Amino acid sequence: MEWRTGGVLALSGAEQERWWAVADNMGIAAKPPPPPPPHRMLLPGQCPAVCVDRGRLRIMNPAVLSSFPILSSTCDHSRASSVASIFCACPVAGSSDQVGPRTSVSAKNGFKKLSCKILDHRAASQGGRGDILESSVSAEPSRKGTVPIVERGPSKRDGLRRSKDLFESFKSDMELAVPRNASPAELEELLIRVESASSALDVDLILSRSGVNFFPVKNLNTLLAGIRIEDRIIDLFSWMRRNGKTRNNPYAYRIVLKVMLKRQAWDRVVEILEEVGSTLDNHTWNSIVDAAVNAGAPEFAVKLITTLIPRNFRPQQSTFVNLLRLLQKTRKVTEAEAVFHMFEGNDLRCCGAYTAMISLYTRAGLYHKAEKAIQEMELRDITPDKDNWLMQINAYGQQGKVRESEKKFQTMQEAQVRPDLLAYNSMILAYGRAHLFDRACATFKKMVEVGVTPDESSYRSMIGACGRAGKLKDALSLFSEMKALNYRPSLQNFNTLINLYGKVRNGGGIVRVLQEMKEIGCKPDSQTLDAALRAMERAGKLKNLGKLMASLKEAGWSVDVPSYAPLLNAYLKCNMNEAALETFHTMRKAALIPKESVCLALICQCKDAGKLDDAIYLFSELQAAGMSPGLETTCTMINIYGMLGNVEEAERLFDKLKRSGVQLDMVAYNVLLSVYMKAGLHEEAKKVYQIIEQHPDLTADAYTFQSMLRVLQKAELEQEGVELYWKILDLGLELDEGLLTCIINCCGRALPLEETSVLFQALLDRGCTPNATTFNLMIDLYGKAGMMDRTRYIFELAQQYGMVDKISYSTLIDAYGKCRDFPNMERTLWDMQRNGFAGTLEAYNAMIDAYGKAGMFTKMEDVLERMRRAGCCGDISTYNILINILGKKGLLQEVQKVLVEMEEKGWKPDRWTYNTLIRAYGLAEMPDEVIKIFKEMQEAGLMPDRVTYVNLVAAFEKSGNLLEAARWSLWMSQAGYQS
């Protein structure tokens, strides 16, 4: 070993081994920091504080030594004589004894002669390079307990004497450094001092000043076990762990584990277990698991067992059983199954484990797993005990399996196990759930005969059996007997009584049960609400929902999450849309969403009530909740958007439905067809109909044809409607009320009158009531045909069915006018006004037209005056009628006055007006005016029709201009009109 330039010490391999021994003994870090570059003075902490070379102790950094626990309480940090304590605590070359927690140097073996070089700390601290002081110490073998004698070695420098003086002044430190056993008195005194400490820092200070570092491990374990304050136990254990006193010391770990388990500090327990490794025995591990079970921490216990099983840990049978029972109480099925599989893997045979699993499965409703556990017991030939028998009977009884329950009950008796209260209760429950009320009653009586007193569960099971058998009187009798014995009825018992009152349709009994619940303080829950709602519905008293809700709230019921669904259904059944929507809003605030069927019912109710915006809101909330709407819900929304005229949104939903891969049926296409029908888009409707005809899996039904007929009716495509009618007949489709009505309304004017009459009669023969539109159509058809008897018959029939409206009167007035039956026409107008229908514009127009065409201008003017007095202003039809009448009479100046008045009233001429004017001026042989009117018609953006061309040709023929008439006839043919 040599000194390098700058005082950096280099160690060989053997020297490093010696350094690690000393460093480990003193608690120095396992690896020294790297040396600094050459020609630099080392600072505290930059190099090892001490090293040993063949019996020579070299001190390099006294400042580091002052931070050691052994020296901090006995040495002055400002003095380099702290080396003396280190010198006595360091191992001696050639000696088999070691210092620290492993072994100690005994005083009787003495000390061998050592030499050390000491770096003068004070010289270095004053800015100098520092002197290397050398001294030798010898300790001759002496009697036990004597202090080694320090001798002066050969001096190399003047500072050596100073080092000896410093060493002599700290002989007391050397005495503390000698490893030794503590006496009981010392341990007792130290125990009192540690327990009186107020913090971990005080404990460290007490231990450092007492030289505990040189006590053997057994003394420290005795001290640790004697402390009664948990915090001080943890502080002492922490000190022992820092000073290496817990290595290979499972006893210390067991003591501190008890504290951590008592405090339920599971994270610290895991930390300690990872540190201790596999040094603990199975008994300790079992104790830890049992402590976790007793503390009610099943998750930690399961985690611990699953971690230890692969390490060949073999838990005790009682450990498994206790853990399974805890998991049974907390109803943790998954964890219990994992533990149970480990139980079977360890080939442990215990009836208690199976009892816990059967009970857990039964409470969780996993009856098939409970039966499987029972079968495994039989295969493994495990003899059930009394508790296991009872669990097996209860498992079958909960399912209502009477045969299996009776077999287990009999087998238990054959095994000399006397049935107790739980066994009889299980059998009563089994008979009740199997609807065997007589057997349940017999078991109840037998239980009393053998001396087993029924308890609350017995009466509750019997009341439940009465509920399933519909025995209201028996249930009330048992209920009264139960209260007489001061047994508290359960909530389920009250729900049973409510159901029974509902079966006999006794709404008052339901209210009385709720009042009794209020008196005894039994708070209704969602099941009570559901039972009450079902009972009231069965009794036909659901209309009194408000009173029922008030009674429930008085009994202590409050809205909770499980109550939303039955409450919403009840509101829907009572058509209480506002309450249903409010409940839906509350559910959404709670991040809940009803079932799609409930949402669909609510959407349909909003649609029927005309609250289409609310329906759209419900649908958007349904999508926002992540629920994918089904075919029926989406089709309903397409129909709603069609009612709103929002064709784009309806088409978007239909395209989304197609892309979703759902098989579209006729309902979807019919809904889209209805959307186009309501929007008047007959071309798009035709495309949908063509898709239906071309699709092999789709067949047009009655609703499809009804929609198409309505589309054609709106588009006034009567001929296409007639073609569709003959196709319906070819398909042999049954003509129901809707289809007959649509055919008459769409094709009635285009079909022969006889065919229309047959269809109308078929509608009446089916017992159907035609609507007002159909009656008015038939009145109009018969009136225009001059069949006034049939016309009056249809009108009177409409009056019988209550389908007469102002259009019916107006149509009948028009029919009388065309027949020149003016008295009946006037009488019909009088009847119309007398029956509460004010004179309509259509009725006045029909009378003006009738009187005008008859040349009765005085009557016509009288009708105009009556119309003005009635506050009925003329429309474009009124002015067209006047122009037509005056034009035919050649009163062109009056025609011009009508045109001026029409423009003053804000009415613009239409095609019918221009056609009438062309005809009037044509009759007056004024072709130039005819051409002028035709140009005005084109400038107004009105396309000529067949009537226009016919009037033009007639006008030029009337004026004798046959060449011009031929030219207009040619243009008429080129326009696609037949002459």
pLDDT tens digits, one per residue of 659-679? 888 888 888 888 998 898 888
Mean of pLDDT values over 168-185 = 55
Q: How far apart are CA 688 and CA 694, in angstroms?
A: 10
Tell me the CATH number of domain 873-978, given options 3.40.50.2300, 1.25.40.10, 1.20.1200.10, 3.40.630.40.
Answer: 1.25.40.10
Categorise residue 392: left if φ over 0, alpha if ψ from -120 to 50, beta otherwise.
Answer: alpha
Q: What pLDDT was estimated at residue 827?
A: 92
Among all chains, which residue has been given the structure tokens 């009088």?
830
Mean of pLDDT values over 344-348 = 57
**Which stretches does DSSP call E strand in 183-299?**
none
Q: Which of 179, 189, 236, 240 is nearest to 211 (CA)?
A: 179
DSSP string of 625-654?
TT----HHHHHHHHHHHHHTT-HHHHHHHH
Q: How far apart are CA 261 and CA 252, in angstroms?
A: 14
Q: Which of 302, 304, 263 is nearest to 284 (CA)?
A: 304
* pLDDT exceeds 60 at position 545: yes
Q: What pLDDT was estimated at residue 76?
A: 36
User: pLDDT for 910-966, tens place per residue?
Assistant: 889 998 999 888 888 888 888 999 898 888 888 888 888 888 888 888 888 888 888
What are the phi and psi torsion angles at 807 (to 5°)? -70, -35
Q: How far apart are CA 189 and CA 761, in angstroms?
A: 121
DSSP H stretches of helix in 313-401: 317-330, 333-345, 351-363, 367-379, 386-398
Q: Are 299 and 307 in contact (CB under 8 A)?
A: no
Q: Which of 127, 122, 113, 139 is nearest to 57 (CA)?
A: 113
In the chain, the amino acid numbered 667 is V
Q: How far apart are CA 910 and CA 931, in angstroms?
A: 17
* pLDDT exceeds 80 at position 164: no
Pick 47 or 802 by higher pLDDT: 802
Per DSSP bridges, beta strands 56-59 and 50-53 are antiparallel
* pLDDT exceeds 70 at position 148: no
Among all chains, which residue has been given the structure tokens 């159509």?
777
Pick 165 or 836 by higher pLDDT: 836
Q: How far apart are CA 619 and CA 551, in angstroms?
A: 33
Shared fold status for 769-871 and 873-978: yes
Q: How far apart are CA 668 and CA 635, in angstroms?
A: 6
Q: Is 546 exposed, middle or buried (0-12, 13-18, 19+ CB in 10 A)?
A: exposed
Per DSSP bridges, beta strands 111-119 and 50-53 are unpaired
Q: How far apart are CA 608 and CA 539, in angstroms?
A: 27
Sequence ranges of the domains in the chain: 663-764, 769-871, 873-978
Q: How far apart are CA 91 and CA 445, in angstroms?
A: 89
* pLDDT exceeds 80 at position 316: no
Helices and strands in the chain, H and E counts: 53, 4
C-alpha separations of 723 from 566, 717, 730, 746, 753 in Å: 52, 10, 11, 11, 16
Q: Are 609 and 577 in contact (CB under 8 A)?
A: yes
Mean of pLDDT values over 361-366 = 82
- How far apart are the two ends of the chain, measured CA to CA in Å? 135
DSSP H or E segment with residue 881: helix 876-888
Contacts 24+ apart (CB under 8 A), 412-418: 412/384, 412/386, 415/384, 415/389, 417/386, 417/389
Q: Which of 494, 473, 616 is nearest to 555 (CA)?
A: 494
Q: What pLDDT was estimated at residue 775?
A: 92
- Tokens at 410, concatenated: 């009999």
C-alpha separations of 283 from 118, 274, 286, 306 in Å: 53, 17, 5, 17
| Averaged pLDDT score across all residues of the chain | 75
Q: Are 595 and 632 in contact (CB under 8 A)?
A: no
CATH entry 1.25.40 includes domain 769-871: yes
DSSP string of 148-182?
PPP-----SSTHHHHHHHHHHTTHHHHHHTS--PP
Among all chains, which residue has been given the structure tokens 């019909």?
828
Q: What pLDDT was estimated at residue 162?
A: 52
Assign 380 to helix, strand or coil. coil
Q: What pLDDT was estimated at residue 115?
A: 33
Q: What pLDDT was estimated at residue 110?
A: 35
Q: Is 739 exposed, middle or buried (0-12, 13-18, 19+ CB in 10 A)?
A: buried
- Tokens at 842, concatenated: 């259509």
In sign, the C-alpha dihedral spanning 899, 900, 904, 905 is negative
Pick 74 or 48 by higher pLDDT: 48
Among all chains, which residue has been given the structure tokens 């007589």?
438
Q: Is 647 exposed, middle or buried (0-12, 13-18, 19+ CB in 10 A)?
A: middle
- Tokens at 812, concatenated: 């009948």
Q: What pLDDT was estimated at residue 532?
A: 81
The torsion of the CA quartet 18, 23, 26, 31, rounded to 10 degrees, works out to -170
Among all chains, which residue has been given the structure tokens 């005085």?
858
- Tokens at 77, concatenated: 């940090």
* pLDDT exceeds 60 at position 696: yes
Q: What pLDDT was estimated at residue 778?
A: 92
Q: Are 59 and 163 in contact (CB under 8 A)?
A: no
User: pLDDT for 34-59, tens place per residue?
Assistant: 444 443 333 333 334 444 433 344 44
Compute the residue count for the chain: 979
Longest Cα pair distance anywhere in the chain, in angstroms?
A: 168
Percent of the chain with pLDDT strictly greater than 70: 73
Work out the pLDDT band at 347, boundaries 50, 70, 90. low
The torsion of the CA quartet 330, 335, 339, 344, rounded to 10 degrees, works out to 110
Among all chains, which residue has been given the structure tokens 């969602």?
526
Q: Is 37 exposed, middle or buried (0-12, 13-18, 19+ CB in 10 A)?
A: exposed
Is the pTM above the cut of 0.75? no
Q: Are 150 and 142 in contact (CB under 8 A)?
A: no
Q: How far apart are CA 160 and CA 137, in angstroms?
A: 12
* pLDDT exceeds 70 at position 503: yes
Pick 213 or 473 by higher pLDDT: 473
Can you state the angle between helices 266-276 and 298-308, rounded to 10 degrees? Answer: 10
